Each structure stands twice: as C-alpha cells, then as structure tokens.
Structure 1
Amino acid sequence: MGKVYLVGAGPGDPGLITVKGLKCIQEADVILYDRLINKELLSHAKEDAELIYCGKLPDYHLMKQETINHFLLKHAKRGKVVTRLKGGDPFVYGRGGEEALALAKHGIDFEVVPGITSGIAAPAYAGIPVTHREYSSTFAFVTGHRREGKEDDLRWESLAKGIDTLAIYMGVGNLPYICGQLLKNGRDASTPVALIHWGTVDEQQTVTGTLETIVDIVKRNEIKNPSMIIVGEVVRLREKISWFEQMKHQEDEFQPTVAF
C-alpha cells in the first residue's frame, strides 16, 4: 500500500504553502490538484510525477467527487505516494473530510496537511483582520452556496445577531439573498461588507460597501468568483491597513523605465 496526503495549498500566493505541504508535493508520485491552486507549486513536483487535474468550476464539475476518490484509492493501492492538493485548507469547504472517510473505509494510510484558508488570508491581504479587540471577538466561516436540492438550513438569525465577523465562501452568485437574509434577521443595513476577488495574488481586487449597497457595487465592478465575502465592522480597518495594495503600488512606481 502507498500513502495519501491531503494537502492544503493555501489561498493563492505560492509563498503561503506550508513547509510540510511543499515536501508532500516534492515527494509525490501522483498529484491530484484543483483549479484554485497556484500552478507554480506544481513546478516543485518530481519530473516523473503524474499530474491529474480535478478542477471544478461553479455549477460545473469536471471530475465528480466519487471519481476523485477512485483515483486516490487506485494509486495508493498500487503503492504510490499520492498528494491531493487543494486550495486553502482541505477541511474547510474542501471536501477533504469526504476523501478522508473514503480512504479510512478502504484501510489506506493517509495524513492531513492543513493549509491557510482564504477566509482568513484574503481579508488579511485586503487589510481586514477577522478579529480585533475593539471590533470583533467572534467570527464564523459560512458557505454561501447550498448543495443542489438541499434547503437553506443556515441559522440566519444567529449569524446576523450573534457573530461579529462573517467570512462567506462561494457566495457571489447568492449575494442578494445573503444580504437580504442578514437584513431580514436583524443585521444593521450600514454594516460594512467587503468582497475580495483572487485574494493574495497580484490580480487581487477588493470592493467595499454596506449590506444595503454592496450588491450594486459588486454588479457595477463585475466581481466574480473566486471571491471571499467579509461582513462586519472590521471591514472599516481596511482604510488604514490595506498593506498589500500599497505594496503593489510602490512596486509599480519603482519599475524601471526602458527607453528605446
């Protein structure tokens, strides 16, 4: 029997991979990777490593979860070292739990290698701490996308009134509904909201507004997935500590000019 590593590749910036995660890439015989990982990480794989793309788009799955499980089992049973490379953290909306259960059921040796999840990293790169002594002592990870055919069972009143900061994954398409539910269940219309598109990489784009205005702002700026939605007073801190955009601006200013 081989072994499977369920590895979190982090939120996008290749420098945010963990030391152990990088080692798993370097030593793997087979790598199954998702759409949202930074492809630069694959350059660390062995020359003869087999790379298998398992990418999933919103509303379209290139490879079904059952097929991914099958590949993990097949290669591990052939004695291979298999790295399952996922964006963010494998156990935060990454279906890592489902894959771990499948491996355990068939007696396959595996390890989970946590990664930095975008619910913390994307707002951090946008200058938004998810907790702050003066603004937020509680935060929650929330899925903004329901499984097909499943009713909305989120406790919106608890989220609206009981949690200071919400980090909402996969919610751009349902943003009007999300804002409506929070307002309906008692969250103030002036509550700040940020959407961070492609957080932690050069293409990062952040827009801010309130629960009352953010839907129009997102539509006007054509913000799409992948984006994190952050709801809470901590969004106000972005005005003072948006370090990533400032750093990129400074780098652009100091780019040498080439004359021909």
Structure 2
Amino acid sequence: MAEHPAYPVGLRLTGRRVVVLGGGQVAQRRLPALIAAGAAVHLVSPEVTASVEAMADAGEITWHQRPYEDGDLADAWYALIATGDTEANARASAEAERRRVWCVRSDDADEATAWTPATGHSEGVTVAVLTTDARGRDPRHTAAIRDAVVEGLRDGTLVAPHHRTRTPGVALVGGGPGDPDLITVRGRRLLAEADVVIADRLGPRDLLAELPPHVEVIDAAKIPYGRFMAQEAINNALIEHAKQGKSVVRLKGGDPYVFGRGMEELQALAEVGIPCTVVPGISSSISVPSAAGIPVTHRGVAHEFTVVSGHVAPDDERSLVDWPSLARLTGTLVILMGVDKIGKIAETLVAHGKPADTPVALVQEGTTAAQRRVDATLATVAETVRTEDVKPPAVIVIGEVVKVGPTAAAPRE
C-alpha cells in the first residue's frame, strides 16, 4: 500500500456518524472541522480537554466518558483514532478494517486507511494538501504549501479567474490608514478580482500598481462636475459600471462608514437595485495613533475615546458636534480632518474648561513612509501647526494618552 499515493476525496459527513477515540489535543484540533461538516460526532474517552468538554456541554458532540470498547465503530462512516493507548488504537484500527470504516490514526499513519490533509479555506474553496509519497511524508512541508496557497488566494497574489458568470455588483472596501499591508484580507482579494476600481486619494495607492492591466482604475478625486457634485458623480460612476455587468470596487481610505460617506453610496446603489458588499477597514482614528506610539485608551489614564470630524469649525452653523460636552470629558479626543480648524477647536475646548496644557499630538501621513509626529498642547497647537507646516492628512490626538510611552511606568488605577 505504501508504494501508491493516497486517493484524494471529499467526505460529505452531514448527519453521518463519526467516531473519535481520545479527547486530547489531537481531537481538540480535529473536532471543529468535523462539527462544521455537520457530522454526528461521538467521542469516546475517559477524559477530555477543557475545550472538548465545552463542545460536549454545548451539544456539538456526544461524549461517552469511558475507554474504547469493541463495537464502538459500528455504523460509523469515519473514525479518528487518537488515544494515548497504543494497544487500544490497534484494536480500534482492526475493527475499522473489519467494518470498512475509513480510519485515521494519529499514532501510526501507516496502519491507517485514510490520512488527514493539511487544509485551509478561502471564500468557499477548501485547499487540501497531501504528500503523495507515503515514505517521505513531511507534515510541515504540506502545511507550508497549504498556507502559501490559502494566503495567496486571500490576499489576491494568487488569482484564479472565475469561469462561471459572476453576479455584477459593488464592494465598498475600507483600505485602512494608508499602509498597503493594513487592508483586510477580504478587501485585497476583492481588489484582485475587480474589473473597475474607483479609488479615493487617501486609499492605499500602492495596491493599485498590483492590479492586472485590464482593470480600469478611476481616481475619485478627479471625477468631474466640481466639488459639490463630486459625491453624486461618484455614485453615478459606481452605478454605470455595475450596470455594465462589471465587478466594481470602491476603494476608500480607513473604514467606509467612518466619515467615508459609504452609506450614501450604498443607498444610491440600493435605490437602483445594485447589490453592494461592505468590507470594513481599519480606521485611521485608532491605527494612526497606534503607529505613532499613542494608545487611545490606557489603564488609569483614559477609559474612553471619542472620534470627531473637524472639517467644520465649532462656530460653523453646520457643525453637529457638542464641543462644550467634549471639553468636559476626561478621555481621549481624536479629531480627523481638522488640521486647518485646529486653532478654533483648541480655543473652543479651552473656553469650555479643557486645561490649556492638555497634550496634543498631530500624526501626519500615518502608517506610511512619510509619517511624522508633532507634539503640542491646546495652548500651542495652532502656532505649532503653522511653524511645523503640518499638512493633511493628519490625525489629531488630544489627551493625557499622548504622554504615555513604552517606557512610562504603569499608572495607578
């Protein structure tokens, strides 16, 4: 048998009896996949790990709290033998052979009638890797191949064209704060599958260079009709390309719903019946301070953080922000799109009780190679922005967390 490679097959175990002998680490690793496959799992073992016991308590498996007995594999479709008793494993393996039950043995693969491949999943596809040469099995090698294939499918570096008709539609993809490595796995995969990408200026621009030549890339910042018509023009572009049967990705900076007008775009698509998928992104309100060494919360310093848009000044009638209430908060205040309004914002916060010496950090071009951090206080931040020539995009952090660093002593509660 060892001279021939294993024959790969996918077992459909929904509702079918599967027997697992042993309740240790091997069973703990294998059980979730069997449960996900819908198998009726019966586990036989005097003792089990805490995680396996939790599966039994939740009704996901049936636990028979005793050692293996002859007859346990009756009516089973599949068996996993993973006890610490070699003699019991051999008896169970012999029973599986008699009953024609496919059997995996964790202690002796040569005595098994089936092997467990290294498996991974990516958007409806299961990748299973088996070593074809039984005499040279190397689990680490097969696992490494599995990981490389799954990672390539997830991040879009390994693209398998769809040969069946895809449902056209739009994906609103949050690209994260700027570093191309910080886009989500799903977002990167959808980018790799797109026919059209409509990209924001603040999206991860480096990813656009990786797209195949046939992908049409549209710069949302350059869509015509003027500043006040720009969002309507973007909505129209999304609709137009999706109606042509194309797969469209709207690549946005940060998260689509954090000051990203993502809901406006989704509503426009919904009005004309175009399906839309929303892929969350890492918001710059948290990630950029983190990249600059600033935690937005910290034990004993800040138990809350508030994210505010600063694109209109506090005294602007269009402002929806309750600045007096924010001045009374003791936690962290994160301001996006507020560089040119920070002087008025700081003045308003101080006027309503925020100490003038409250620390402020401005992080420009966060997570990119051009990132820089400039520190100030509420009293000095307006002048600092001018003298240091701080430009958008920049995330502004106000609060005591600005002074927390990796060498700071642990604060008292």
| TM-score, scaled relative to structure 2 | 0.55
**For 1:114-165, what per-residue CA distance to the aligned partner results, in whole angstroms no more than 9, with x for missing partners?**
1111111110011000011111111111000139x85333111211112511
- Please point out which of 399, 403, 407 is paired with 1:232: 399
Contact 1:193/1:210 (<8 A) preserved? yes
Q: Deviations over 1:99-124 (max 9, x none)?
A: 01111111110110011111111100
Q: Residue 195 of structure 1 corresponds to which residue in structure 2?
A: 362
Task: Give the aligned length.
Answer: 237
- Contact conserved, 2:175 with 2:252, CA < 8 A, in 1? yes
Name the residue aligned to 1:156. Answer: 323
Residue pair 2:174, 2:256 contacting (<8 A) in 1 also: yes
- Indicate the residue corresponding to 2:190 in structure 1: 24
Q: What SS is found at the alignment partner of 1:64?
A: helix
Q: Structure 1: which 5+ residue stretches go unaligned?
A: 242-260
Q: Give the match for residue 127 of structure 1.
A: 293
* Structure 1: distance between partners of 2:206 and 2:346: 36
SS of the equivalent of 2:197 reads strand
Counterpart residue number, 1:138: 304
Quote the residue 2:146 is aligned against.
Answer: none
Give the structure 1 partner of residue 216 of structure 2.
Answer: 50
**Following TM superposition, by how much is the alpha carbon of 1:199 offset from its aligned partner in structure 2, in angstroms?**
0.4
Once residues 32 and 130 of structure 1 are traced to their aligned partners in structure 2, the CA distance between those partners, rounded to angstroms, is 31
User: How far 1:50 moved relative to its partner?
Assistant: 0.8
Aligned with 1:223 (options 372, 390, 405): 390
Which residue pairs with 2:350 in the alignment?
183
Greater relative CO (CA pairs within 8 A, separation 6+): 1
2:203 to 34, 37, 55: 37
Larger-gyration structure (1/2): 2
3-state DSSP class of the match of 2:170? Answer: strand
Percent identical = 46
Amino acid at match of 2:267: L
Paired residue type of 1:200: T
Instruction: Give CA deviations for 1:147-198 in whole Å, capped at 9, x if unaligned.
Output: 9x85333111211112511110110111110001111111111111000000
1:166 aligns with 2:320: no
Determine the C-alpha separation between the residues in 2 that align with 1:234 and 1:227. 17
Contact in 2 for aligned 1:29/1:81 (Cα 8 Å): yes
Following TM superposition, by how much is the alpha carbon of 1:62 offset from its aligned partner in structure 2, in angstroms?
9.5
In 1, the alpha carbon distance for the partners of 2:255 and 2:355 equals 31
- Gapped runs of 5+ residues in structure 2? 1-166, 409-413
Letter in 1 for 2:353: G
Secondary structure of the 1:136 match is coil
Q: Does 2:238 match 1:72?
A: yes
AA aligned to 1:167 is V
Q: Distance in 2 between matches of 1:122 and 1:142?
A: 15
Superposed CA RMSD in Å reads 1.9
Matched with 2:373 is: 206
Counterpart of 1:8 in structure 2 is 174
Write the deviation string for residues 71-107 of structure 1: whole angstroms up to 9, x where unpaired. 1011111111000000111111111011011111111
2: CA distance between counterparts of 1:190 and 1:238? 18
Q: Measure the CA separation in 2 of the matches of 1:163 and 1:111.
A: 37
In 2: Cα distance, 1:168 partner to 1:103 partner: 30
Change (3 A) 1:40 1:106: same
Q: Is the 8 A contact 1:130 1:139 kept in 2?
A: yes
> Which residue in the other structure is 2:29 paired with?
none
TM-score by length of 1: 0.86
Give the CA deviation at 1:46.
Answer: 2.6
Matched, 1:108 2:298: no
Q: CA deviation at 1:202?
A: 1.2
Matching residue of 2:102: none
Q: Could you tell me whether the CA contact under 8 Å between 1:29 and 1:82 is conserved in 2?
A: yes
Q: 1:39 to 1:152 in 2, by over 3 A?
A: closer
What displacement does 1:4 show?
0.3
Q: Is the 8 A contact 1:91 1:97 kept in 2?
A: yes
- Residue identity in the other structure for 1:153: L
Deviations 1:206-232 (A, max 9, x none): 111111112222211111111111001
